[in-house]
Chain A
């Protein structure tokens, strides 16, 4: 049963991406890779902490062009260099919970939050994997696949990793029914 969280982890990460994509067109911005974000000092005109902006590239679709030589640290970088898209208006957030569906380890249902047509949060509303019901949030599970890949490739002098992917039709089904409720 230990695999259940792992399967969900990947599925959640993956599906958030899938559905996020459809709500936002591909943006190929051949900008600089975020280099040494700790050296960026937010100007006093913004109240957003630096950590908020460094998490922005985690969005559904990210593109980076690696420059050589890397740009020197620019402590006075202005906030306009990094798009801040994390601002949400709570009143415009709509939520729905998808139907309970069978998945490989039991029964689950998915909760989704959307702002306009963009999915802002996906979480497990209920999960029953054999007498052990629990709620989990995407924050615990949505560890990007690619971070893991990056760690693996650095350690073995390899350029890529081949392996079976995790998918869960059950998760997709419940998420779809939640989105249908929201008219998406």
Chain B
């Protein structure tokens, strides 16, 4: 019996773009055949709702979000939704692992988990999509990627990493174990603040972290672009996560197991 390679290939059966969290989030599903719509639609809708719920809770520039009210001292954590506590716990863990280079409590203007929330929300959304039973799915939240499965049986998704010196091009391609997060000095986000000085400082042009969970990968990528290659040591104690730093002179520095393919 022969099996042609093409018969193993999953087709991209679904694509969606959602404008949420101040950016664009895309969802892509891969499978051999397309499941019936009545089965897909409610799950996809729930995956989209998760993103909007996270936006409503965690947007620091929305006056009525829970996080804004907590920052203003109008709301105690006990009265906030359970998701706030979950994200807080993730933030604590990321702060410890990153040796303090990711520290939402040290941000000017008060507690700001922005560097983790986008990844966390995308990961939550992806977890919902697992219920579709498809062979592979990608949620890409403006360059931070949560995924499961792959484009074919036994293959992982390949993800291009934007070249910080020329964002129209790719610096490299990685095979993702699930999550890929990139933070860049070319990113004009308010969360690229050095927690040790409170100033907007980055010590690399871009940093990419791959791992199993996007909330942690997102936070560590933020930490890594601020700290530079000195912070690559944090991965030695952390299995399942790898880091890449691209310097302003174009030099790549990465952990030994970083899954770069070209």
- Which A residues have a C-beta under 8 Å from some C-beta of B? 3, 6-7, 13-18, 20-21, 26, 28, 30, 33, 60-68, 104, 145-146, 148-149, 152-153, 156-169, 172, 176
Contact = CB atoms under 8 A, between A and B. Distances in A.
A162 B37 contact: no
Contacts of B138: 159-160
Contacts of B162: 161-164
B189 A156 contact: no
A26 B159 CA distance: 28
B26 interface: yes
B20 A158 contact: no
B261 to A, nearest CB: 9
B13 A159 contact: no
A68 B11 CA distance: 9
Interface of B: 11-20, 22-24, 26, 28, 30, 33-34, 37, 40-41, 44-45, 48-49, 61, 138, 140, 142-145, 147, 151, 157-162, 164, 167-168, 170, 173-174, 180-184, 186-190, 206, 208
A17 B19 contact: yes
Contacts of A18: 19-20, 22-23
Contacts of A169: 61, 190
Contacts, number: 158
Q: A-side binding surface: helix, strand, loop or mixed? A: mixed
B219 to A, nearest CB: 14
A45 to B, nearest CB: 30
Given A164-B162, A166-B187, A167-B22, A64 B143 contact: no
B64 to A, nearest CB: 13
Contacts of A15: 22
Contact of A164 (B33, B37, B44, B184): B184
24 contacts: A7-B188, A18-B22, A33-B15, A63-B15, A64-B14, A65-B13, A65-B34, A66-B34, A145-B24, A149-B26, A156-B160, A159-B30, A159-B138, A159-B151, A160-B26, A161-B162, A161-B170, A162-B143, A162-B160, A162-B181, A164-B143, A165-B23, A165-B189, A167-B188
A158 B159 contact: yes
Contacts of B30: 159
Contacts of A157: 158
Q: B-side binding surface: helix, strand, loop or mixed? A: strand
A16 B22 CA distance: 9
B161 A160 contact: no
B12 A66 contact: yes
A15 B143 CA distance: 16
Contacts of A148: 168
Contacts of B161: 161-163
Contacts of B183: 164
A31 to B, nearest CB: 10
A74 to B, nearest CB: 20
Given A159-B30, A161-B170, 16 more contacts: A17-B19, A26-B49, A33-B15, A64-B15, A65-B14, A66-B15, A66-B34, A68-B33, A158-B158, A159-B158, A160-B138, A160-B140, A160-B159, A164-B183, A167-B187, A172-B22
B170 A156 contact: yes
